[in-house]
Amino acid sequence: MNENTTADTSVNATAIDDETLSRAVLTYCLDSADAMMYALVKGIGSATHTLQLLADSGPGNHESVATAAYKTLDAALINGITRWGRTINARGMASFHGAMVSWQHRLTTLPSTDPEELKTWFTANGTQWIVAPHHPYWPSQLADLTIHTDWAAPLCLWGKGDPQALVSCSEPVGVVGSRGVSEYGRQSAHELTKQAARAGHLIVSGGALGTDAAAHWGAIQAMDEIGTP
């Protein structure tokens, strides 16, 4: 396979379909990974349908349409919470209704309702890619967030560079730590990640200063020494 074929395959695999765009829009409505939104999409089974129901239940719609959408969303949340192995009480439902108001308001602040314009906006004019759980480059390890904790996995991921890197290693190594790390800690993080990268592991870290930066530089140094294929 030549370089151009690989690039074409990567672009095709990250093409933004309706479900991915809907997940990007729903993420825009949130402040962070949100367990209620995760459960809602899980209960409905489609981000596209979830987004439509949120729009239908908002202000400005015919009362019968809004009421029907509202009831469907309530039932879907309970279904999603149950399928997730959790339970929800009256206080939780009240929090959900409050969150819905915030989500509906966020929808009104989008720069456009045209799908193609939104794709351009969400990808910063095509300089970023977006992947969702149904894409071949989605890192399956993210499912651990919903299995071992009460935190929700992200609805989608934004990135730059080669999206195949997300699934290029079956045993990625995460290296994170303090921004105010000591010089010893900085050197340790750098050396650990350099050795791990040399051994073929994908290095995963945040984008912050300190330990995270040292981890990235360690991995980059390893690749410079080995040479990229």
Give the total residue count for the chain.
229
Dihedral sign (CA 29, 162, 175, 38): positive
The pTM assigned to this predicted structure is 0.83
Tokens of 229: 């294929």
Instruction: Return the ∠ at Cα 147 (arms to 145 and 153), rounded to 5°.
Output: 30
Closest CA to 159 of 31, 67, 24: 24
CA atoms within 13 A on the CB side of 208: 13
* Mean pLDDT score across all residues of the chain: 89
Q: Please tell me whether residue 157 adopts helix, strand or coil conformation.
A: strand
| Residue 144 scores a pLDDT above 80 | yes
CA distance 211 to 185: 7
- How far is residue 213's CA from residue 126's CA, in Å, rounded to a whole number? 26
Q: Which helix (H) or strand (E) holds 158?
A: strand 157-159
Q: Which amino acid is at 163?
A: P
Higher pLDDT, 144 or 125: 125
pLDDT for res 225 = 85
Q: What separation in angstroms does the CA of 56 have from each of 60, 61, 107, 111, 207?
A: 9, 6, 11, 19, 38
pLDDT band at 181 (very low <50, low <70, confident <90, very high): very high
